[in-house]
Structure 1
Amino acid sequence: MKEKISILIHGYNKNKNDMSTLSENLKKLNHKCISVNLPLTYKEIDHAAFIFEEIVEETLKEIGQDEKVNLIGHSTGGLIIRNYLLKPKNRDRINSCILIATPNNGSELADMASNYFNVLTYIFKTLKSLKTENVRRINFINDERIRIGAIAGKNNKLLLGKLLKEENDGRVTINSVYYEGLEDFVILPHQHKEIHYKWETAKLIDNFVETGKFTSECKLSDYGKIFIKGREYC
């Protein structure tokens, strides 16, 4: 069976070690994983996106011209993927993109930090990039050649999650992860810091890479009825 090549991108204030468990889990599912280190603490997203573009370029040179890669990002890593897709170059070499707990519509916690502790966004510039007004500048790309799916968490036991009014994973609301145009969307009962460590998550990612769907069944009984932007979502 042919290996699936997947590039893993960590989130805010992390490094590639945070993706090591997901990498090991995906390897068991016949993925060749490449985890990257990006400056996602003190630099704005644009800087990390430029570095990521070069990494993808080098990766594509090292594999067959007929081979494609999957891009898998946790949290802010998902925004790096979306930023990368803004440029048409090499889009035909991308198979699937999976955004795990990514604040696709902006981070309410980053908005709060900016409003009440503005100095934080000047020091931690990645946090500034996560503000709703800045994330909105990253357009959603609809390219039929690329399948994009998102995984959200529903477990707000983390302290900061108590500050968010809507259902969330302790850092990011479900409504922020979801956006129209996704090929598929699933909600898991895990918090932000653990969701990408779960075997269940790796299996769903592999399903999406293979089929364009996370799962063939809707299991509302597991998570309760989920409402996204006013409508019930499975």
Structure 2
Amino acid sequence: MFFGTYEGTLTIAYCHPHVQRYRLCLWALALLITTGGCTTTQPSPEVATGECVVLVHGLWRNAWAMQPLANSLRESGFHTVSIDYDSTGKALEAVAKEEMAEAVRQCQTLTSGPVHLVTHSMGGLAARYYLATHALPPGGRVVMLAPPNDGSSVVSHFEGHPLLACLIGSAAAPLSESRPQRLPGATLTTPIGVIAGNNNPSPVPIPFLDSPNDSTVSVASTLLDGMDDFIVLPESHVSIRRSETVHRQIRAFLRQGRFEIDPTTPP
């Protein structure tokens, strides 16, 4: 366990024993590896508007990946709590019951007002598990950024290959196209807005990935039955977390239950 600060925020991190194994396994993808496998909770120390947002990162990432969004939300008056979980070694059901549940509890110590969820990529699937067994406080809403709600065509193509298991571990099952729409929480009562990206900066076409896409998740795969609003923005899978345009749309949905622009017609 170690203590540190990041831009005035106290960070308490607990490292899982799986970290070394994943670093060896993913040596060829070293640039993609951060410190996944540590759990970090970051409550904002600032006085907020009475609303709190739980931020949930995606595959191969950690809480620092959501820091630009956390900063933007805090500047707009929201409390923020960012979770960190072992995205390749821990089942999403367990993440929902443990890290996400604890983050919501921390939000409730900061405010008696609404608690929202904002997720990136596979974090959206973790949120669906959470919402299947937990209710957010009244007024809570969910925004999913580039969620693979209909699975990953790339993961499905290589399903069963030992290298895939090495690279993404326990994430393989929920990311398979045969599974996500059957996950708990596919039909939800909590208001949900989905933001998809259609900017693939790669000059080389990615096999098995339908267009349009954000270089990782296709626009079609982000759709979720029962979602309340949906927009497509010219962002990649990485830039969608950092874009101020996206941040503005997130704030709009959390406050109003709708995005600022007309929903894009699903493909």
State the TM bucket, normalised to the shorter chain. Answer: 0.7 to 0.9
Partner SS for 1:51: helix
Q: Give the one of 190, 195, 200 matched to 1:156.
A: 200
* Count of matched residue pairs: 217
* 1:71-220 equivalences in 2 (<5 Å): 71-87=117-133, 89-93=134-138, 95-114=140-159, 117-121=161-165, 124-139=169-184, 140-143=186-189, 146-158=190-202, 162-163=206-207, 164-217=209-262
Q: Identify the residue that residue 221 of structure 1 maps to in structure 2.
A: none
Most deviating of 194-203 and 127-136: 127-136
Tell me the secondary structure at the aligned position of residue 86 of structure 1: helix
Residues 1:15 and 2:62 aligned together? yes
Structure 1 position 53, deviation (Å): 4.0
Alignment of 1:60-79 (within 5 A): 61-64=108-111, 66-79=112-125
Contact 1:73 1:100 survives alignment (8 Å): yes
Check conservation: 2:156, 2:177, Cα contact below 8 A. Answer: yes
Distance 1:61 1:186, change over 3 A: closer
3-state SS of the aligned residue for 1:78?
Answer: helix
Name whichever structure is richer in helix by fraction. 1
C-alpha distance in structure 2 between counterparts of 1:160 and 1:46, whole Å: 35
Gaps of 5+ in 1: 219-225, 230-234
The answer to which of 89-98 and 195-204 deviates more is 89-98
Contact kept in structure 2, 1:158 and 1:191, CA below 8 Å: no
SS in 1 for 2:236: coil
Distance 1:159 1:34, change over 3 A: farther
Identity %: 24
Please give the alpha-carbon distance, in whole angstroms, between the structure 1 residues aligned to 2:233 and 2:108.
36
- Answer whether contact 1:21 1:197 (CA < 8 A) is retained: yes
Change (3 A) 1:54 1:157: same
Corresponding residue for residue 71 of structure 2: 24
**Quick one: which amino acid aligns to residue 12 of structure 1?**
L
Q: Partners of 2:204 and 2:249 in 1: how far apart?
A: 27
TM-score, with normalisation over the residues of structure 1?
Answer: 0.83
The answer (yes or no) to whether the contact 2:187–2:225 under 8 Å persists in 1 is no
Q: Contact 2:116 / 2:136 at 8 angstroms: preserved in 1? A: no
Alpha-carbon offset, residue 60 of structure 1: 5.0
Give the whole-Å Cα distance in 1 for the aligned partners of 2:204 and 2:258: 31
Normalization by structure 2: what TM-score? 0.74
Contact 1:153 1:169 in 2 (8 A): yes
C-alpha separation between the residues in 2 aligned to 1:227 and 1:113? 30
SS at match of 1:111: helix
Structure 1 stretch 183-192 or stretch 35-44: which is displaced more? Answer: 35-44
For structure 2, the 5+ residue unaligned runs are 1-47
Shift of 1:120: 1.9
Sort the Cα spacing of 1:173 and 1:216 in 2 relative to 1 into closer, same or farther, 3 A. Answer: closer
1:5-55 Cα deviation digits (max 9, x unpaired): 101000001100000011111112111111110111223322322223431
- In 2 relative to 1, CA 160–75 (structure 1 residues): closer, same or farther, beyond 3 Å? farther
